[in-house]
Chains A and B, each alone.
Chain A
Amino acid sequence: GENVEQHPSTLSVQEGDSAVIKCTYSDSASNYFPWYKQELGKGPQLIIDIRSNVGEKKDQRIAVTLNKTAKHFSLHITETQPEDSAVYFCAASYSNQAGTALIFGKGTTLSVSS
C-alpha cells in the first residue's frame, strides 16, 4: 500500500544551524507534498507545500525540494531558532476509488537549543 518514510525521527541542532528532514514516498501518482509543524497540545500547522510540477519552493527560512524520479522530498530550515522546536510531519497525496487524501510520515522531533 501507500507509504511515506520520514527520517530522522529526532534531530537536535544548535540555534543558527540548519536542519534537514527527508521523506520518501511509494505512490508514483502522488502529486502534492505538504509539510506540517505540530507544537505540543496543538493541531498540525501547514508550513510549506510543493506540487509535482515544481522542483523547489522557498519561504523565508524554509525550503522544500522534490525529486519525483527518486520519489524523495526534503524540508530545509536555515538559521534555526528555539521556536522552531516541534514535531514536523511530511505527507504525500494518494488516490483511490473513493477520492484523494494524505498519508503522513511518522514525524521528526526537532529540538533547537540556544
Chain B
Amino acid sequence: DTEVTQTPKHLVMGMTNKKSLKCEQHMGHRAMYWYKQKAKKPPELMFVYSYEKLSINESVPSRFSPECPNSSLLNLHLHALQPEDSALYLCASSLAVSTDTQYFGPGTRLTVL
C-alpha cells in the first residue's frame, strides 16, 4: 500500500479565516513533505519533516504553519492567506529524508477569496 491521503479535497476560505489541511500515511515513512503547485507549474517544496522534526523550510511565509503530531500525520495550518495562495497543496512521504522515493497524495485544492 503506497497511499497518502489528504483532507479536505477542496477548501474555500476567506482571507481572515483559519483552516487546516491534513495528510496521513500508514507506510511507516519517517519523512513527510508539503508542496504547493500552481496551475500548469511543477510542485514547489514548502516544508520537510524528518522523524517528526522540521528539516527544511523553504522560506515559506509565516501564514503557513506546519505541524507533525506523529510519524503518520502532517498538518498545514493556514491563517490570513492571500488570494495568490490559491493552489493545489500536495503532501508526500518517503521512507527517509534522503533520496528515497516520494509518494504523493491527491492534494487539496485551496481557493482563497
Complex partner residue of B107 from A43, A46, A96, A101, CB under 8 angstroms: A43
Q: With A and B bound together, what is the CA distance between A103 and B58 in angstroms?
A: 12
Whether the pair A101, B48 counts as a contact (CB closer than 8 A) is yes
Q: Which B residues lie within 8 Å of A32 (CB)?
A: 99-100
Q: With A and B bound together, what is the CA distance between A105 and B56 in angstroms?
A: 20
Whether the pair B42, A106 counts as a contact (CB closer than 8 A) is yes
Whether the pair A104, B43 counts as a contact (CB closer than 8 A) is yes
How many residues of chain B get a CB closer than 8 Å to chain A's CBs?
A: 26
Complex partner residue of A99 from B40, B97, B100, B106, CB under 8 angstroms: B97
Whether the pair A34, B107 counts as a contact (CB closer than 8 A) is no
Whether the pair A89, B99 counts as a contact (CB closer than 8 A) is no
Whether the pair B106, A107 counts as a contact (CB closer than 8 A) is no
Whether the pair B106, A43 counts as a contact (CB closer than 8 A) is yes
Chain B residues engaging chain A, CB cutoff 8 angstroms: 4, 6, 33, 40-45, 48, 50, 55-57, 90, 97-107
14 A-B Cβ contacts within 8 A?
A32-B99, A43-B6, A43-B105, A43-B106, A44-B43, A93-B99, A99-B48, A99-B50, A99-B55, A99-B97, A100-B97, A101-B56, A106-B41, A107-B42
